[in-house]
């Protein structure tokens, strides 16, 4: 497939505006500025673009929820927090093709009537934040940002807001709290951000990759985008492959590419000729799949149907040397560390899960620990304030469902089966 999202990555000075313009950059913005804003939203709807941040919500529909009242202040927030372990796709766009993101943001702001946008970037991405600042300065200088863009009457300012390194700040309402200078904790929904978001104003929050799809939809048309991959969740998708493969990295492929093809063809198969044991298909919250399950189409619907999820598309591959108890412990430790503490089931539940997994891993497990873990999962899932706690449960349930005997073995024998 012809690359759309990563096409400039690897070109010399790919982050510079001149490189971007030489490849037809900002032409989509020019076209969009001549269009009716409703037509742009309809086009994004028709393209079938689903948000690439994890939840897979239809982007055009989200934009259409923004009130049309021109006197209301509106905001766009680009979610560049990229906190899900195993996910490293947005960073590549930010560092190597920042103008693709800025153009997508400008079109989105024009469509929803926002004159101010924020890029909430993960605090650790210092280089990326600098690249964005430089790109924004270039865009102002050439008239693609600022007042009366290209004489259209549309004005836009984009600000970079650096986060402080908390996974929860990637959750859209915690992100808004953080931009407002408050502690990053999720808000109660409803009201949804489309009606009351940043500073209580209508706000769209979209992921970096989602916004980076927008210029191509405008320039090539909704039909072209919709023709790539499965009908229900089409378009190009960046899969980030890490773990025990020969060629870890980012692969831009059609949505719906089989997981087996991603692992064995693009990522070069399992390292040292070993056997595949399990794959996490969409960042650590996504329940893992076993070797027998990887002939699966990597798209939102199919993975959900199979009891997992596409999430952010971060594919983590584990070979047969992996102890599932250790993997579950490490993943769970992350969730309990990152639990924001706002709600009890997540704060206490993930802490308990981690301490049980820790004693299993260190040979101090007790009879009944596996049942205790399963009971805890049931007490957390669906009872937390935001999906962070659900993510912790889904990850553990995936491991327990497929490798329960390893957990039992650890509890009974104090060591690994592998």
Binding site for ligand FMN (CB under 6 A): 51-55, 57, 79, 81-84, 167-168, 170-172, 205-207, 210, 386-388
Phi/psi for 312 (5° steps) reads -95, 0
Quick one: 25 or 60, whose CB is closer to ligand FMN? 60
Which class for 21: exposed (0-12), middle (13-18), buried (19 or more C-beta within 10 A)? middle
Quick one: 57 or 362, whose CB is closer to ligand FMN? 57
Q: Tell me how far apart the terminal alpha carbons of the chain are, to the nearest angstrom.
A: 39
Helix, strand, coil shares of the chain as percentages rounded to 5?
45, 15, 40
For residue 219, the minimal CB distance to ligand FMN (Å) is: 20
Quick one: 322 or 339, whose CB is closer to ligand FMN? 339
For residue 145, the minimal CB distance to ligand FMN (Å) is: 21
Q: Compute CA distances 300 → 41, 91, 102, 256, 277, whole Å.
A: 22, 22, 26, 9, 23
Degrees to nearest 5, angle at CA 190 with 346 and 207:
75
For residue 106, the minimal CB distance to ligand FMN (Å) is: 16
For residue 205, the minimal CB distance to ligand FMN (Å) is: 5
For residue 305, the minimal CB distance to ligand FMN (Å) is: 20
For residue 169, the minimal CB distance to ligand FMN (Å) is: 8
Helix (H) or strand (E) holding 78: strand 75-80
In whole angstroms, what is the distance from residue 415 CA to residue 325 CA?
10
Dihedral angle sign, alpha carbons of residues 159, 162, 167, 169: negative
In whole angstroms, what is the distance from residue 247 CA to residue 138 CA?
35
Quick one: 293 or 339, whose CB is closer to ligand FMN? 339
Quick one: 125 or 403, whose CB is closer to ligand FMN? 125
Nearest-10 crossing angle of helices 98-112, 37-47: 120
Tokens 């399990």 — which residue? 278
Quick one: 104 or 256, whose CB is closer to ligand FMN? 104
Quick one: 54 or 215, whose CB is closer to ligand FMN? 54
Quick one: 61 or 372, whose CB is closer to ligand FMN? 61
User: How does DSSP classify residue 274?
Assistant: -
Helix (H) or strand (E) holding 400: helix 387-413
For residue 215, the minimal CB distance to ligand FMN (Å) is: 15
For residue 369, the minimal CB distance to ligand FMN (Å) is: 27
């Amino acid at each position: 497939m012809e690359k759309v999202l990563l096409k400039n990555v690897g070109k010399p000075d790919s982050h510079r505006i001149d490189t971007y313009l030489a490849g037809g950059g900002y032409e989509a913005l020019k076209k969009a500025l001549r269009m009716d804003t409703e037509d742009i939203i309809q086009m994004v709807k028709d393209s079938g673009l689903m948000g690439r941040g994890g939840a897979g919500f239809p982007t055009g529909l989200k934009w259409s929820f923004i009130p049309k009242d021109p006197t209301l202040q509106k905001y766009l927030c680009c979610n560049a927090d990229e906190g899900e372990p195993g996910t490293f796709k947005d960073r590549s766009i930010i560092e190597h093709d920042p103008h693709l993101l800025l153009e997508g943001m400008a079109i989105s702001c024009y469509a929803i009537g926002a004159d101010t946008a924020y890029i909430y970037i993960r605090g650790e991405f210092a280089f990326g934040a600098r690249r964005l600042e430089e790109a924004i300065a270039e865009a102002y200088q050439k008239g693609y940002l600022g007042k009366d863009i290209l004489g259209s009457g549309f004005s836009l300012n984009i600000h970079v807001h650096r986060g402080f390194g908390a996974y929860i700040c990637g959750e859209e309402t915690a992100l808004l709290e953080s931009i407002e200078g408050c502690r990053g904790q999720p808000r109660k929904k409803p009201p949804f951000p489309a009606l009351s978001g940043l500073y209580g104003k209508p706000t769209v929050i979209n992921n970096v990759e989602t916004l980076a799809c927008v210029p191509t939809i405008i320039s090539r048309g909704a039909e072209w985008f919709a023709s790539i991959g499965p009908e229900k969740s089409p378009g190009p998708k960046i899969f980030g492959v890490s773990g025990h493969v020969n060629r870890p990295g980012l692969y831009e492929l059609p949505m719906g590419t089989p997981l087996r093809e991603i692992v064995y063809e693009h990522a070069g198969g399992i390292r040292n000729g070993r056997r595949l044991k399990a794959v996490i298909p969409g960042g650590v919250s996504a329940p893992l799949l076993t070797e027998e399950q990887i002939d699966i189409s990597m798209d939102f619907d199919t993975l959900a149907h199979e009891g997992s999820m596409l999430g952010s598309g971060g594919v983590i591959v584990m070979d047969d040397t992996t102890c599932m108890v250790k993997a579950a412990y490490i993943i769970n430790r992350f969730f309990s560390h990152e639990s924001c503490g706002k709600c009890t089931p997540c704060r206490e539940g993930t802490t308990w899960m981690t301490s049980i997994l820790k004693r299993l891993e260190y040979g101090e497990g007790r009879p009944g620990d596996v049942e205790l873990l399963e009971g805890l999962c049931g007490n957390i899932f669906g009872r937390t304030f935001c999906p962070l706690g659900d993510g912790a449960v889904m990850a553990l349930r995936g491991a327990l469902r497929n490798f329960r005997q390893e957990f039992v073995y650890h509890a009974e024998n104090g060591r690994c089966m592998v």
